[in-house]
Structure 1
Amino acid sequence: MDYLKKKLEPMLNLIEKLVNIDSGSTNKVGVDKIGKILIEEYKQMDFTIEVKENKEFGNNILIKHKEAMKPEILLIAHMDTVFPIGTAAERPFTIKNGLAFGPGVADMKASQVTLLYAMKYLYEKKDAAMKNVIIILNSDEEIGSPTSRELIEEISKNVKYALVMEPARKDGSIVSSRRGGGRYTLHVHGRSAHSGVAPEEGRSAIEELAYKTIKLNHLTDHEQGISVSVGIVEGGDAVNMIPDSATGYVDVRVESDEQSLEIAKKIESICSVPDVPGTTIDLEGGITRPPMEPDEKNQKLLEIVKEVGNSFGLIVTDSHTGGGSDASFPSHLGVATIDGVGPIGGKLHNEGEYLEIDSLTERCFLLAETVSKLSESN
């Protein structure tokens, strides 16, 4: 690990540069600025770059070595964060007591640098494994990967393994399974009327949405890993009017494909029949991320990662998480997938988001050696 330990300072300098650029999912200028910086780094190692242009969101970037023939390992790292424009100026990159702070420092500016320096390590070693990888830097993971999902699934059809650069959990564990999930929007239509003059003529959209909120929330079964939550409701124009419109926004989390189908049917059934006569509902959305289940292929890859860690004294543990990520897409297509292979971080998406600096070099080494191990028979 000596090479990587010597590179800690330039790694931190690059993380600082990236953290101090706002790159929220809807900030195309900022995301593309991150992309341009990383593109120049990869070009120095004989990687070819293919930019997938987007008009609304940042461009997605496909990277592979100029001599790559049929790369078997997909590496995915997103460039976007959840933070609005101005956050980087308010809370710029700082270091204190062995931790680095700043918007997106762990999720996933540091992971981008970890991936880059793993490739630099392989490049300096002249390890042929770098010809066995194909890298996707995507621009919209934090909002469900609307433009990059198709690219991820297209590449996934031709690889054996996928390593996703989400940060390791705060206890150091990598992610071996994730819940799937989706979003629904209920547009409820009623009939307006003055609540004092002719309330009987009205049909309350808010009342109808209230019935649906209770029924949908009751689909939750924590023991089975199912969560359905109406998180935002909107409606009404005036307190003295029967509201003729209301909107509800629903978050869904599931553990398995079977649950995805079952919950989708139940939500559609609930919303198909009004509880308040004279109201109607337009239902939009669905399950947008399949679950990443701990199947046989994923477990075998997990064991390889643990073996690589053991080879240099790092005990790798794994955990399940309810949050979604791009790991769900290759896993759902039958690709052996592991997530959370970035450095250790915590308080993600919050003001106190942090990176454990000491984990940078060890996780970079773990990633590089895992890529090398997976490429031995290539």
Structure 2
Amino acid sequence: MREYLLTKENEMLLLLEKLVNIDSGSANKAGIDKVGGILKAEYEKLGFRVETYKESERGNHLVIQHEDAATPEIILLAHMDTVFRDGTAAVRPFTMKNGRAYGPGVIDMKASQVALLYALKALISIDSNGFRNVQIVLNSDEEIGSGTSRKLIETQAKGKRYALIMEPARKNGALVSARRGGGRFSLFVKGKAAHSGIEPQNGISAIEELAHKIVKLHALTNHDEGISVSVGLIEGGESVNTIAPSAVAHVDVRISRKEQADILMQKIREICETADVPGTSIVLEGGMNRPPMVKNVQTIELLNLIKDVGSSLGMEITDVSTGGGSDASFTSAIGVPTVDGLGPVGGNAHSEDEYLEIPSLVERTNLLAKLIGKLSD
């Protein structure tokens, strides 16, 4: 299959260029649906059925399996959204230089979309049963927590034997075997406005109240237990000479074990229930949106199989844990053996310097195809 893929490398790069040059930030429904439309057409050419799950505000989700598939055992997840603002593709379009490709979303994860499609083409080229043994979910909102796609992913994953997640490989090519879970919270604080020079005694500062809450929330961090609580964004007040009548904080929470979620949520609620500055009030919104992906016995067994496949191709496969979230958490949490990071190799995701190592496009596509074939034997 590697020889087949080498003959298709230029074709793969042309498709990648087309996808990268479409703005498809999580809020850009039209752009995501354009990406989805291109991929839908490509899969349908190969005899795959594509079911569209329509969303009114976010991009549509796609569920894909071959028309000859009966009960696929493997679920593959890949997202179509990026983190980049509209207009980025025009300012910073797809380019290639010194063995690397650049552009918004090139590694996270438009290269993975190309790799997944061509892995199936490679399997079809040798008439492996593998292409009949997969179900693919392409979702539109992974970068913002998969709020509209989580139930779809969990529903489709139930009963599957394996879950392969197409997030990019680490810079050294490592797979991802564990991820921290996480959540997002927002604190909306109300106080009372007053002129800070003429009648400051009549004001109640929402910013002062928020400051107390930030200190208490950060104190929940326990790195030894894999817990972190970080207020990453704040805003408040109306002018420098006005006692602030309102303030807002947005909080990122990370956990390493599932049982930590309820305990941490209760502590956050308790902090927000009692005002430190009399006369202020707080509305707390949000919650935990991703369970942790735990490296368990099932994960290790699947990893060992992948390492064997890699060894047969002359590749040394390693794995790492990471604090970042992905849809791998959802399949792992419902008991499906899950490995992430099966996409191509690159780096600097979510930045202007995001890149793909071009040789890894064929290399990792071949690994994925061989793996799907092996799991389907």
Q: TM range, normalised to the smaller chain?
A: over 0.9
The match for 1:215 is 216
The match for 2:175 is 174
User: Alpha-carbon deviation of 1:55?
Assistant: 1.1
Amino acid at match of 1:56: E
The match for 1:254 is 255
The match for 2:102 is 101
Secondary structure of residue in 2 paired with 1:286: strand
The match for 1:336 is 337
Secondary structure of residue in 2 paired with 1:257: coil
Tell me the alpha carbon deviations over residues 146-202 of structure 1, each in whole angstroms, 9 at most, x when there is no partner.
111111011111211110100001111010111111100001111222223332222
The match for 1:155 is 156
User: Alpha-carbon deviation of 1:227?
Assistant: 1.2
The match for 1:206 is 207
The match for 1:73 is 74
Distance in structure 1 (CA, Å) of the matches to 2:41 and 2:241: 60
User: Alpha-carbon deviation of 1:207?
Assistant: 0.4
The match for 2:236 is 235
Secondary structure of residue in 2 paired with 1:358: helix
User: Alpha-carbon deviation of 1:329?
Assistant: 0.4
The match for 2:294 is 293
Distance in structure 2 (CA, Å) of the matches to 1:136 and 1:296: 25
Distance in structure 1 (CA, Å) of the matches to 2:352 and 2:241: 40
Distance in structure 2 (CA, Å) of the matches to 1:90 and 1:243: 39
User: Alpha-carbon deviation of 1:269?
Assistant: 1.1
Identity %: 58
Amino acid at match of 1:177: A
User: Alpha-carbon deviation of 1:240?
Assistant: 2.2
The match for 1:146 is 147
Q: What does residue range 1-378 of structure 1 map to in structure 2 within 5 Å? A: 1-376=2-377
User: Alpha-carbon deviation of 1:45?
Assistant: 1.2
User: Alpha-carbon deviation of 1:258?
Assistant: 1.8
Distance in structure 2 (CA, Å) of the matches to 1:237 and 1:88: 36
Distance in structure 2 (CA, Å) of the matches to 1:85 and 1:243: 33
Distance in structure 2 (CA, Å) of the matches to 1:13 and 1:201: 65
Distance in structure 2 (CA, Å) of the matches to 1:54 and 1:357: 34
Tell me the alpha carbon deviations over residues 317-349 of structure 1, each in whole angstroms, 9 at most, x when there is no partner.
111111100111010101100000000010000
Distance in structure 2 (CA, Å) of the matches to 1:170 and 1:50: 34
Amino acid at match of 2:96: I
TM-score after normalising by structure 1: 0.98
Distance in structure 2 (CA, Å) of the matches to 1:241 and 1:38: 53
User: Alpha-carbon deviation of 1:353?
Assistant: 0.3
Distance in structure 1 (CA, Å) of the matches to 2:245 and 2:197: 16
Secondary structure of residue in 1 paired with 2:26: coil
Amino acid at match of 1:60: H
Distance in structure 2 (CA, Å) of the matches to 1:232 and 1:58: 26
Secondary structure of residue in 1 paired with 2:259: helix
Distance in structure 2 (CA, Å) of the matches to 1:266 and 1:344: 39
Distance in structure 1 (CA, Å) of the matches to 2:291 and 2:330: 7
| Stretches (4+) displaced over 4 A | none
Distance in structure 1 (CA, Å) of the matches to 2:251 and 2:97: 39
User: Alpha-carbon deviation of 1:311?
Assistant: 1.2
| Runs (5+) with no aligned partner, structure 2 | none
TM-score after normalising by structure 2: 0.98
Distance in structure 2 (CA, Å) of the matches to 1:54 and 1:32: 10
